[in-house]
Amino acid sequence: MDQQTETTLWLVRHGESTANARGIVQGHDDPPDLTLRGRLQAQRLVGILRHRSVDALYSSDLRRALRTANVLSNVLGLPVQTDRALRERGFGVFEGAPLSALRPEFTGIRHGRVEDVHVRPLGGESLDDVYRRAGEFVGWLLLHEVGRNVVVVTHGGTVRAIRAYCAGRKVDELAWDHVPNGSVWRIRMQPPRTDEFQKSQLQSGGSR
């Protein structure tokens, strides 16, 4: 692998939020903030990432991710660049409800496996929707952050979607594994050829 063009992605799930602690569906719901445990998890991320020669810092624009990214920003000396494409999956009418309300017929996930990539909660997103916007972000990043160390602070579902995309796997091939709050995943990537990126943009119906 060419070290000059390799982009290293440090994929981070935000620290524990108040809604995580209460077992509440979050999605695009923005009131949840970090708990004390979540703030401590963000501080631990500093210890993991401060010596990684990080060149850029991106984050979901939702509060729980942005609060986590701001802790890193203060130490790394980098501005936080927010992007809506990094948001958690939208759960529509279920946002603010107990997690127990999210049954497989609404999520498309059963027993830790993806069962239906197209089902979506009323007013929310499907797994395919999340995979597409996550993939679009990664494609853009690979063209604009070539050869750099990039930290991306996002959410559990988006972490899984980005990992699948970077591994060349479809979202329906994904095991819905545990992604703890404050966890870090390192992904090494080569930039796509320009013609491949343009083709993917045409297929997804848009560009950044």
> Smallest Cα–Cα separation from 68: which of 117, 109, 12, 14?
14
For 70-80, b where at least 16 C-beta lie within 10 A, e where not — what string? Answer: ebbbeebebeb
Return the sign of the alpha-carbon dihedral for residues 122, 128, 131, 136. negative
Q: At CA 149, angle to CA 204 and CA 50, rounded to 5? A: 135
Q: Report the relative pairing of strands 113-114 and 109-110 from DSSP bridges.
A: antiparallel
φ and ψ at residue 31, rounded to 5 degrees: -55, -35
Q: Which two tokens stand for residue 198?
A: 């343009």
Q: Of 16, 28, 88, 125, which one is the catalytic site residue?
A: 88
88 is catalytic: yes
> Smallest Cα–Cα separation from 182: which of 76, 79, 47?
47
Q: Which two tokens stand for residue 86?
A: 């990094």
Q: How far is CA 186 from the centre of its chain?
A: 13
* Catalytic machinery residues: 14, 88
